[in-house]
Amino acid sequence: MKKLFKNKLASAGLLIIFLISLFAIFAPFITAYQPNDINITDSLLAPSAAHWLGTDLLGRDLLCRMAYGARISLIVGLIAVSISVLIGLLLGSIAGYYAGRIDAIIMRFVDIMLCFPSIFLILALVALLEPSILIIMAVIGLTSWMGIARLVRAEILSLKERDYVLAARACGVSDFKIIIRHLIPNAIGPVLISATLGVAAAILVESSLSFLGIGVQPPTPSWGNILMDAKASLGLAWWMTFYPGLAIFITVLGYNLLGEGLRDMLIPRK
């Protein structure tokens, strides 16, 4: 933790993520409005003391919708990456530890998955299924585990020849316990880096899908569908595109800075 806070990139990323998380957690207390309160008389009001970030075409308070949208974006990013990490750890550790035919089968499956462009695979799956937050999280997670599986496999191929693993085998420790207790904890560094960067990518994918109308469905607010709503008033209300775009940019920047900081700490370049 001392190294983490001493690293400028990681500290900056943590601060951004912490502030965005507070923004999402305290969404009900930030304004007196509700995210779906419609007031046509307040349509497209510019930022003011009454509405700090202005209103949308239906008179809904943009600050309130941004705060509730932050919850959706962060939850989708974290859960989608959790799914991809679990799958990547499972398949990568099995492939690296057992090697041989099992390794060949799993890695060929990984190669096949990597042949499909991720965004088109996600679009196809989402288009076939009914759009919902759960479907979005599952689809992003199920299409983004391949890189983690390769990282874990490469680490475990090296680690399984270490003396402590050989000693554990000599003591009769089962393969499952060796993988869980000795190999995965020592291979987790690159996985943490990849997972941190993966959250940023998942937030971008969710925002893109919602912007296209096949992600989080209205009236549930997300940064992506707020941007989609802004298309109808693109030349009239600059705040409708500026603030959601800025929120996505800052959040993705925060996770990328944290990932780069972790990379500097866990994988020294010198």
How far is Cα of residue 194 from the mean position of the Cα atoms in its chain? 10
Nearest partner of 92 among 110, 76, 116, 75, judged by Cα:
110
In the numeric block, the tokens 């607010």 are attached to: 221
Check whether the bond before 219 is cis (ω within 30° of 0).
Answer: yes
Per-residue pLDDT of the chain in tens (270 residues, 90 and over written 9): 777 788 888 899 999 999 999 999 999 998 889 999 899 999 999 999 989 999 998 999 999 999 999 999 999 999 999 999 999 999 999 999 998 899 999 999 999 988 888 778 787 877 787 778 888 899 899 989 999 999 999 999 989 888 999 899 899 999 999 999 999 998 888 899 999 999 999 999 999 888 888 888 888 899 999 999 888 888 888 999 999 999 999 999 999 999 988 888 877 655
pLDDT of 268: 61
Write out the CATH class of domain 75-266: mainly alpha
pTM value is 0.89
Res 263: pLDDT? 86
**pLDDT score recorded for residue 2:** 78
Joined together, the tokens standing for residue 100 give: 């041989």
* Every domain of the chain and the residues it spans: 75-266
Tell me what pLDDT residue 98 has: 92
Residue 62 contacts residue 55 (beta carbons within 8 Å): yes
pLDDT at residue number 156 = 93
